[in-house]
Amino acid sequence: MKAFQYATAHSPDSARQLVADNGAYLAGGNDLLGLLKEYLVTADPLVNIKSLPGLNKIEDGRKAWTIGALVTIAQIENHADIKKTFPGLHEAASEIASLQIRNVATVGGNLAQHSRCWYFRQRDVKCLKKHGDLCYARSSENRYHSLFTGNDCISPVVSSLATTFAALDASAIVLRDGKELRWSMAELYAEAWKNPYAHNSLQPGDLIVRVEIPTARSRSAYMQISDKHAFDWALVSCAAAAEIADGKMKSPRVALGSISPVPHQSEAANSFLDGKVLDDATATQAADMILKDAKPLEHNAYKMPMAQALIRRTLLKLKGDA
């Protein structure tokens, strides 16, 4: 690890000033400290944001809930009213990593975590994402990689919270140079879709301050499949959310994680599901639409039937059938 200066910020403005052009924000440190130790990122100074006031709160509201960027994943998992209001968010939080990690990992850090591609994580490999010439995964070990991408890097977004927030149509509020920007999950990762060097759309100094979740969809569900039962990222994850009135879905949204640099969504499938009664045939048809343009690679085609089954099961779980 390279030597660095360390500072603690007590307000968002001071955090921005301290981090300047070459620093990094330190939240729970689960991802960042590993990246620093492996010389994958440099940060000077390292700005501890854990003392920023007010960002560790969950606030309920009639139209929307607010979750501060410093709220831990365990806080979400253990919040009884979140379990009732956003069951899919509770399920996603409780599947992340391990209890020890969930106790310190934060919402902001989860959304901004870097690629898990093993070539990226290997300090001696200079792949495209690290401004080398080649994506090594494309022609080699790509079992954990994307089925969709808009650029030559095939590393997917692995944040389970991002998948669920996308289905719930939540917004990330990002502080950039004193102004608040409101981004959908699609916007938070749009840069990673088109730019091989990017992990997300954040620029140096951008601070996620909170996430706002509309209450419009009272049903939500999340499911994932991983190699290991715990302490592992998803091979594929799926979240779905909707209102159900008279047995019919209203404003449904489905999102998938670990298969694209952005939480993968299909507006055509969401429109197709709108107003439908959920049954196996409808859920299967939606899954076909969502996966229509997928481009499996040599070693990750197994994700196709996995995603198909997850979409169907997660949708049926919305009405309690899975």
Ligand X SMILES: Cc1cc2nc3c(=O)[nH]c(=O)nc-3n(C[C@H](O)[C@H](O)[C@H](O)COP(=O)(O)OP(=O)(O)OC[C@H]3O[C@@H](n4cnc5c(N)ncnc54)[C@H](O)[C@@H]3O)c2cc1C
Residues at the site binding ligand SF4, with contacts judged by CB under 6 A: 115, 117, 119-120, 127-129, 135-137, 145, 153-155, 196
Distance of CA 223 to the CA centre of its chain: 14
Instruction: Assess 106 for contact with ligand X (CB under 6 A).
Output: yes
SS3 151: coil
Which residues, other chains included, contact 157 with Cβ-Cβ below 8 Å and sequence gap of 6+? 189, 192, 200, 257, 258, 260, 261, 262, 263
Nearest distance in Å: CB 227, ligand X: 11
Instruction: Assess 69 for contact with ligand X (CB under 6 A).
Output: yes
Select from 8, 17, 29, 94 the one that contacts ligand X (CB under 6 A): 29
Give 218: exposed, middle or buried? Use CB within 10 Å, 0-12, 13-18, 19+: middle
The smaller minimum CB distance to ligand SF4, of residues 116 and 313, is found at: 116
Report the b/e string of 45-54 with b at 16+ CB within 10 A: bbbbbbebee
CB 240 within 8 A of CB 274: no
Instruction: Assess 97 for contact with ligand X (CB under 6 A).
Output: yes
The smaller minimum CB distance to ligand X, of residues 53 and 275, is found at: 53
Instruction: Assess 110 for contact with ligand X (CB under 6 A).
Output: yes
Instruction: Assess 7 for contact with ligand X (CB under 6 A).
Output: no
Q: Tokens 């501890």 correspond to what residue?
A: 48
Question: 236 pairs with which residues across the strands?
Answer: 225
Give the integer Cα–Cα distance in Å for 227 and 231: 10
CB 127 within 8 A of CB 228: no
The smaller minimum CB distance to ligand SF4, of residues 129 and 317, is found at: 129
The smaller minimum CB distance to ligand SF4, of residues 117 and 175, is found at: 117
The smaller minimum CB distance to ligand SF4, of residues 51 and 139, is found at: 139
The smaller minimum CB distance to ligand SF4, of residues 155 and 314, is found at: 155
Nearest distance in Å: CB 237, ligand X: 8
CB 240 within 8 A of CB 220: yes
- Please choose which of ligand X, ligand SF4, none residue 149 contacts, taking the beta carbon within 5 to 8 angstroms, the exact cut-off set by kind: none
Nearest distance in Å: CB 152, ligand X: 23
Instruction: Assess 113 for contact with ligand X (CB under 6 A).
Output: yes
- Please choose which of ligand X, ligand SF4, none residue 120 contacts, taking the beta carbon within 5 to 8 angstroms, the exact cut-off set by kind: ligand SF4
Residue nearest to ligand X (CB): 109
- Please choose which of ligand X, ligand SF4, none residue 30 contacts, taking the beta carbon within 5 to 8 angstroms, the exact cut-off set by kind: ligand X
Sheet containing strand 46-48, edge to edge, reads 6-8, 46-48, 24-26
Helix (H) or strand (E) holding 160: helix 160-167
Instruction: Assess 112 for contact with ligand X (CB under 6 A).
Output: yes
The smaller minimum CB distance to ligand SF4, of residues 149 and 314, is found at: 149
CB 286 within 8 A of CB 280: no
Interacting residues toward ligand X by CB under 6 A: 24-32, 69, 96-97, 101, 105-106, 108-110, 112-113, 158-161, 202, 207-208, 231-234
